[in-house]
Chains A and B, each alone.
Chain A
Amino acid sequence: MDASTSHKNLHGEFLRLFLEAERDLYRYVCALLPRPQDAHDVVQETAIALWENFEQFDGSRPFVPWALRFALNKARQHAAREGRRSFILEDEALLEKVVEEQEAQENGFEDKRTLLKQCLEKLPEKPSGLIRGYYWQKESIEQLAHKARSSREAVYKQLQRTRQLLLDCVQRLERREEHLGDSSAS
């Protein structure tokens, strides 16, 4: 195998592993730096660092834990550079607890996406519009408050309630699926 082929194989292997781990990385970083732009930037910087160090990766070991170490370093560097404070990043013991809890809740994270879509479709128009505006159209709280003819505080409150609604809905569907799984197996 010549050097060029070997290099291409390495790229392919890296891309496969990275694309597989990308959601896990984003989820991890998002708990530390919840501003979407920060989380996106950190994952992006992590991707580059992982590629630069990929030859040191031991292929017999799982990729995600290795990648998470880089993500943590990049999150710290990003927070320092951009002047972001993250009390979780600053507290090793708490960071460990959060990661452990993330691992405990890891199963089904991918499935949650499907359930979340169903829940979003069921949302009444007003909270649905709020989620669109805030999360995907990047409207400011002021813009959203202006549209809704209400206060900033009321919009924040409504956002909080909508997230709770969505989480309740996702968890309800998860329980239903578990129940269906149980009954089909008996």
Chain B
Amino acid sequence: MKPLDSQFEALVAGYLEGRLTDQDEAVLRTRLHEDSSALSRFVALSDLHALLTGDSALAGQILADGDKSERNGTSNALPKVVPFSSGSRGRFRSRTLLQLAASICIAASALWLCVRPDVSLFREVGGEITGLSLTGFSELVGHEFELKKGLVELRFRQADALVVIEAPAKFTVQDAKTVRIENGRITAHVRDGRQGLRVITPHTDVLDLGTRFGVDVRSGERSEVHVFEGKVEAGAAGGPRKELLSENQAVRYTNESGPQPMDIRAGSFIRPEEMKPLVAGTRNGQVKRALAIHAALKKDPALIGLVDFESRQEGIDIKGARNVQGRFPSFNALEFVDSEDNASLDLHASVSQLTLLSWVRLDQVPDGISSLYHTDGWNKPGQVHWMILKNGQMRFAMFGEAAEEAAASHAHFPESRAPVLGELGRWIHLAAVYDSQQKLVSFFVNGVFDSSVKMTGGLPALLGKAQIGNWNLKDAHGTGNRRFSGRVDELVALSRALSPQEIRAQYEAGTPYQ
């Protein structure tokens, strides 16, 4: 948005500086009423003013930088640096918290509540934690916790960092800048310009050098370090050798070996920015809605199969894949990391209409085809293969069937128009609906209709022995190895074509976000 005319810009400046005359105010008021671009510019400038006047951390950093340059003799005699003490947010924050704390102290007669902790609980989603009874004022330093369910977000005040920990996890906040995690998944977002947050696991020791990173610890087995932005210094636990890891690098440490490079799985970690919509979703009753629609699905007479990984389900054979938290703390999902991770089942069905629904979370941009649901082999008419392509589009392929008009990206299989990769690192709801009478395949992403593709044949869909996620069948052509990196929370197959409204309802009731 470019500056508007000079009169308007001067009026807004005068408003922010508190020096408008009555006449000026009248002109500005009229302009804001009548001109939407002026209103938009006014709010943008007012927001900038709010950031400049309201953010003590920002002021502190910039002032400190100025101080350094003054000491180095690089400044051209900038004003002497003083702590932000008069009228700045620093004063505001401490006054506010002190007043709040004071009122709380009086009410609770508990002096420990008056301390501003170095490490505190910031947000949580369905957290079941043993250890200290947590409130926003609890000092976590020196305490050991076991997070049985859910997510907690901790604020490290000195390191200016937010840390998200996902259950199941066992961790200790050792000091104001160090957390030791025995098992579980941790994501750290250190605000720009800061460094020094340390994450220790049984296998590695990670020191932040100003960054965003994640550490995934499988107790007694291995620890993985993934760097999303910036740099970290990492080394084997107790070892002298340290390595510098940069953006998009990931390394695995095990008990037996030194660091092994691996694919980065940026999407498998819950980041602080995802916490806010997750907290809002939980608070607004999404869990209940999701359970209700899940229960309704189970009663649908057209149900062929529903895999939710909530308990050991008969007929599903899982190898390697890890049972982890689903889209809600009380839900389970299956996580596929290595190409050998596998879940197989047999739905025994041949149907004229088919709806496939799934909640998935992609860990990384695939470098090939990512399998969602693949029947074994590719030689029987009607066999179904459902997948995500390298370019992010969803594909629904049936052996012996073809799209009337070839998609631009590939020969003749129906594909969605929109890529789903924009949702990397978020839970997404995917749906494919096939109707043999209408010879039509339709795609839906997050409850929204994407496109329909006309087919040539009208064969019934064949669902026999199949695999969810990674498809590892080595057939005669050597084509049967399609990796999926991420989590699958639910996979549903129905022998009827769900309407767009029904699919929308599935998404709206099942999404963990708001």
Contacts and interface: CB of A to CB of B under 8 A. Distances in A.
Nearest to B365: A184
Interface stretch (B15-23, B302-310, B338-346, B463-471): B15-23
Given A138-B86, A185-B421, A112 B47 contact: yes
A179 interface: no
Contact of B46 (A31, A121, A156): A31
Nearest to A47: B96
Nearest to A40: B92
Contacts of A154: none
A132 B78 contact: yes
Interface in B231-260: none
B66 to A, nearest CB: 6
A9 B99 CA distance: 18
Interface string B40-58: 1011111111111111001
Contacts of B29: 87-88, 91, 94
A32 B108 CA distance: 35
Given A60-B283, A94-B33, A36 B87 contact: yes
A43 interface: yes
Contact of B3 (A36, A85, A164): A164
A9 B25 CA distance: 46
A15 B123 contact: no
Interface stretch (B135-143, B447-455, B477-485): B135-143
Interface string A151-186: 000001001100110111011000000000000011
A131 B16 contact: no
A112 B136 CA distance: 26
Contacts of A13: 135-136
Contacts, number: 215
Given A139-B79, A159-B17, A12 B136 contact: yes
A48 B103 contact: yes
B79 A125 contact: no
Contact of B135 (A8, A137, A156, A163): A8
A19 B39 CA distance: 28
A79 interface: no
A141 B274 CA distance: 43
Nearest to B16: A34
Contact of A137 (B47, B82, B419): B82
A59 interface: yes
Interface string A1-26: 00011011101111110111001001
A145 B39 CA distance: 31
A36 B191 CA distance: 24
A39 B99 contact: no
A31 B33 CA distance: 15
Contacts of B2: 168
Interface in B130-164: 133-138
Interface range on chain A: under 10, 10 to 19, 20 to 34, or 35 or more?
A: 35 or more
B89 A40 contact: yes
B13 A51 contact: no
Contacts of A116: 48, 51-52, 58
Chain B binding surface, main DSSP class? helix
Interface residues of B, number: 86
B65 A121 contact: yes
B193 interface: yes
A8 B108 contact: yes
Interface in A23-76: 23, 26-27, 30-31, 34-37, 39-40, 43-44, 47-48, 51, 59-60, 62
A34 B39 contact: no
A172 B121 CA distance: 35
Interface string B71-88: 000011011011010111
A34 B356 CA distance: 54
Contact of A136 (B26, B62, B95, B193): B62
Given A15-B136, A30-B53, A186-B419, A114 B96 contact: no
B247 to A, nearest CB: 13
Contacts of B391: 186
Given A87-B29, A167-B48, A16 B76 contact: no
Interface string B98-110: 0110011001101
B392 interface: yes
B135 A43 contact: no
B113 interface: yes
B84 A16 contact: no
B2 to A, nearest CB: 8
A113 B54 CA distance: 11
A131 B62 CA distance: 10
A13 B49 CA distance: 30
A116 B15 CA distance: 21
22 contacts: A8-B108, A8-B110, A8-B135, A12-B136, A12-B138, A16-B123, A20-B276, A26-B50, A30-B49, A34-B18, A37-B87, A60-B285, A102-B47, A105-B47, A112-B48, A114-B192, A120-B62, A133-B78, A159-B13, A160-B10, A163-B16, A163-B45
Interface of A: 4-5, 7-9, 11-16, 18-20, 23, 26-27, 30-31, 34-37, 39-40, 43-44, 47-48, 51, 59-60, 62, 85, 87-88, 91, 93-94, 97-98, 101-102, 104-105, 109, 112-114, 116-117, 120-121, 125-126, 128-129, 131-133, 135-139, 147, 156, 159-160, 163-164, 166-168, 170-171, 185-186
Given A19-B136, A40-B92, A138-B87, 4 more contacts: A30-B50, A37-B87, A39-B50, A44-B96
